[in-house]
Structure 1
Amino acid sequence: MSLASLLTDQQQRVDTLISLLSNEQNLLTQGDIDGDALADVAHQKQQLLVELERIENLRRNIQERLGYESGALGAKSAAQDANCIDLWQRLLEKSERAARLNALTGQMLSLRMQHNQQMLDYIRQIAEKTLYTSTGRNMAQSGKINASA
């Protein structure tokens, strides 16, 4: 497999990742979140990330076997020598976009979790201030019984 075809394959998978991240953001902006759809997107992302890692490891191994140093400088040199520097640059740009989208999605999830925690705390406060005792009687009835006893 040539470097150009590996880079093209990686680009296509990063494009799919970007699409999944955008879909995930759309799901998170809905008032009523579809948990099943969100879980499905997370599962698809995980599978895609495993595949991207496999392809990236393959690319790195080929790069090193061809005598290029490991890391970004070696990858750039290999891409230049293989006449596919434009593919390499586009892959880097798309990867950066995916990273930004992923960071934004993480922030959105964090805000949702904070909101949910605040709602749970509020419900807990209300439940603690209930007007009923553990016997099921309201406080007024309970007070009358204790007063007459």
Structure 2
Amino acid sequence: MPQDLPCNTVLLNLKSNSITALKKESFSCLGSLVELLLSNNRIRLIEKGVFEDATQLEYIELDSNFLQRIPYLGSLPALLKLSVTRNSLKEWQQQTLRDPSEQLIYMNVEANGITEIISMQALHININDNAIGSSNSSVLSGNNIFARNNNLTDFKQILSTKKQQGI
């Protein structure tokens, strides 16, 4: 990651570089950051709470890296979109993001090899081209769920609607 970025940076486009890790100190003064584009790098490691100070961050793009897991990213109160496609994720942890909120509009984890999702909530969820089957206890909650090319045999088992949640 570049060092000494201006603290008032709003858009940070670091696509197609050779970044291998995201460390918390790299984002410590980027409280004004709204959009972070990190696709096509070599990211393998993300430190826990890496975006804790990025309170204005609305969009994170981590597509086409080498991520096998994603830790808790931070509270991210303004986050609207998260894209983590074409990595090597095997599961999606509920603890990756803050407590679920209706504010998250788009979640994209397409083409990862994910076999289990503990919980994922967004208005639009894309889990296409993974390995999610009916033998897990996944729960998805969203208005539009895209689940093409998985190992699903019973979608009801992983689908949670507002009615089923009692909302």
Q: TM-score range by the shorter chain?
A: under 0.3
Calculate the TM-score normalised by the size of structure 2.
Answer: 0.20
Q: Higher strand fraction: Structure 1 or Structure 2?
A: 2
Q: Higher helix fraction: Structure 1 or Structure 2?
A: 1
Calculate the TM-score normalised by the size of structure 1.
Answer: 0.22
Over alpha carbons, which structure has the higher Rg?
1
Higher relative contact order (CA 8 A, sep 6+): 1
